[in-house]
Amino acid sequence: MSFETYPDHVAALQRATESILAAQHYEALVLCSGAPQSRNRFDDQSWPLCPTPAFTHWCPLVEADAYIIVRPGRKPTLVRTVVDDFWETQAPPESEHFWDAFDVVTVGPGHAGDVLPGGKVAVITRDPGQAPPGDVNPAPMLAALDATRTKKSAYEIECLAEATRRAVRGHRRTEEKFRTTDASELEIHLAYLEASEQDDPTTPYKNIVALGQHSAVLHYVAYERKKVSGDTSLLVDAGAKCNGYGSDITRSYVRGTGASAKRFGDLLARMEQLQQEVVRRIRPGMPYEDLHDDSHRLLADVLRDLGIGKGSAAELIDRGITRALFPHGLGHSLGVMVHDVGMKLRPPRADNKFLRNTSVIEVGHVFTIEPGVYIIDALLAPLREDDRARLVDWKLVDELRPFGGIRIEDNVVVQERGVRNLTREAYSA
C-alpha cells in the first residue's frame, strides 16, 4: 500500500499543533515513543513496545526511545536512538512511507537530550518517570491533542480499512474452523492469528474467543484447550493493526440441529438485522447516546417478537430488562487506540453508565456499532427476585443459557450521507 495521503495527515497535525502551542504558550512539543515495560519486577522479561498513542498519531515507527519534536514553522524532527545490540533487534516498520515527513536525527543511547529542545516545552509520554525536561503530560495539552484524534484523516481511514481487511481474514478462518471441526477455543484463537498474520502480543487487544456459555463473559480470554462438539455457539471479538491503527470486529455463530440451537439461531438472525438497522440510522448531528437508546428500543422489539420478553417494549426498557441482557455500550471510537479518545466529553446518563461515546456524531468520526444480547446470571438474578420476573420467559432464558451470548460489531466511517462500513466492505471483497 502507498499511503499517499500521509503527507496531508502530517501537515494537518502540524497546523493543529502549532495552534495548540500558541494557545497554551509553549515553544515546542515533544512526543516520546517510550520504552518496553517489564512483565514482572522479579525477572528480566519485557512486553513488546506499545508506543505512546500521541507519537503513533504522527508516526507508525515502533522503536524505543524515539522522539518527535514539533515546533512552529519548522519541519517536525524524528529522533531515533540507535543501539548496537547483539541480543535483540527491533522489527522494521511495515511501510517506509513516513520518513520524508521528518528531519531524522540519530543518536546513541542516553544522548537524546543533546538534541531535544529546551525552553517552554510540553512533553507527552507513557513513561513519566523517564521523561526528558519539560512539562510532562499537562492536562490542557492532553485534552487538546485528544481533540485532534476525533475526526480521522484520509490516511487514518486508509489504515483502519486495511486493519479491518486483515481482521476479516482472521474472522473468516475462525468461522470455517468452528463449522468444520470440534476445535477448542485455543485452536480457534491460533487459527485467527495465523490467518490475520499476527502475533498474540501485537494484536490491538487480546482476542476474545468464546464457545458456548463462555460467550456471556464480555471480555473472555481464557482459551480453553478442550475440544467442543455438538450444538454450541462461538463469539469472536478480534481485530488487527495497520501502522498502529486497530480494527475491532465481533462475529457470533451457532451450529447444531437441536431445538435450542434453532432458537438461538433465530435470536442471532434478529440481532444481525438489529445491528444493521442501527448502522442505517447513523446521521451527522445525532447524539451517539440517542443511537444507543435506539438499540435498546430495537432490542425490546426483538425480545417481544421471540417471546423472551413479556409486556410492552416500554416496560422492557424502563424496568431494566434490556439493560440486563445488553449491559455494555453500543460502541466506541477507533484509532491508534482501540478505544480511542476525545469522544466522551461528558458522562452518559446513569442508565447508560458503560457508554464510551457521548459525542455528537460528525463527518469523519470512526467508531464501532456493537449491540449484543447475553444470558448473564449475575445481571438476571435481581429480575427473578422482584416483580420484574413477570416480564421474562425464564424457560426460554434457561434454554438459551448454554449458548451464552451474541455480539455483532462493525467499524464504520461517518460520511455526509450515511456511513462507509469498513467491515461489511471487507467481507464483500
Report, as an integer, the average pLDDT of 127-145.
96
Beta carbons within 8 Å of 315's beta carbon, 6+ residues apart = 321, 391
250: pLDDT strictly greater than 90: yes
The confidence score (pLDDT) of residue 84 equals 87
Considering the chain, what percentage of its residues have pLDDT values greater than 70? 100
The answer on 143 and 117 residing in a single domain is yes
Confidence of residue 161 (pLDDT cuts 50, 70, 90): very high
Confidence of residue 370 (pLDDT cuts 50, 70, 90): very high
CA dihedral sign, ordered 417, 418, 421, 425: negative
The confidence score (pLDDT) of residue 128 equals 92
For residue 296, being part of any structural domain is answered with: yes
**308-351 pLDDT, tens per residue?**
999 999 999 999 999 999 999 999 999 999 999 999 989 999 99
The answer on 165 and 143 residing in a single domain is no
**For the whole model, what pTM was predicted?**
0.96
The answer on 347 and 224 residing in a single domain is yes
The answer on 316 and 181 residing in a single domain is yes
**Rounded CA separation 416/164 (Å):** 22
The answer on 104 and 195 residing in a single domain is no
Of the listed ranges 90-99, 288-297, 386-395, the one predicted with least confidence: 90-99
The answer on 217 and 128 residing in a single domain is no
DSSP labels, 320-385: THHHHHS-S-S--B-SSSSS-SSS-SSPPPGGGTT----SBP-TT-EEEE--EEE--HHHHHHHHT
For residue 233, being part of any structural domain is answered with: yes
For residue 1, being part of any structural domain is answered with: no
**Rounded CA separation 60/6 (Å):** 11
For residue 79, being part of any structural domain is answered with: yes
CATH number of the CATH domain containing 51: 3.40.350.10
Report, as an integer, the average pLDDT of 171-189.
99
- Supply the range of the domain harboring residue 289: 154-428
Confidence of residue 377 (pLDDT cuts 50, 70, 90): very high
The confidence score (pLDDT) of residue 224 equals 98
For residue 317, being part of any structural domain is answered with: yes
262: pLDDT strictly greater than 80: yes
How many other C-beta atoms can be found within 10 angstroms of the C-beta atom of residue 387? Answer: 8
For residue 256, being part of any structural domain is answered with: yes
What does the mean pLDDT of the chain come to?
97
The confidence score (pLDDT) of residue 332 equals 98
CATH number of the CATH domain containing 295: 3.90.230.10
Report, as an integer, the average pLDDT of 39-47.
90
Last residue of a domain, one of 122, 147, 172: 147
Confidence of residue 418 (pLDDT cuts 50, 70, 90): confident
Last residue of a domain, one of 128, 147, 166: 147
The answer on 143 and 67 residing in a single domain is yes
Report, as an integer, the average pLDDT of 281-287.
97
Report, as an integer, the average pLDDT of 273-284.
98
**Rounded CA separation 382/5 (Å):** 53
Report, as an integer, the average pLDDT of 113-141.
96
Report, as an integer, the average pLDDT of 362-381.
98
For residue 275, being part of any structural domain is answered with: yes
The confidence score (pLDDT) of residue 81 equals 96
The answer on 182 and 131 residing in a single domain is no
Last residue of a domain, one of 147, 182, 199: 147
Count: domains in the chain: 2
196: pLDDT strictly greater than 80: yes
The answer on 189 and 87 residing in a single domain is no
The answer on 219 and 74 residing in a single domain is no
The answer on 402 and 263 residing in a single domain is yes
DSSP state of 183: -
- The answer to whether residues 167 and 196 touch, using CB atoms and an 8 Å cutoff, is yes
Report, as an integer, the average pLDDT of 197-226.
98
Confidence of residue 90 (pLDDT cuts 50, 70, 90): confident
The confidence score (pLDDT) of residue 28 equals 98
Beta carbons within 8 Å of 216's beta carbon, 6+ residues apart = 374, 375, 376, 401, 404, 405
299: pLDDT strictly greater than 80: yes
1: pLDDT strictly greater than 80: no
The answer on 297 and 243 residing in a single domain is yes
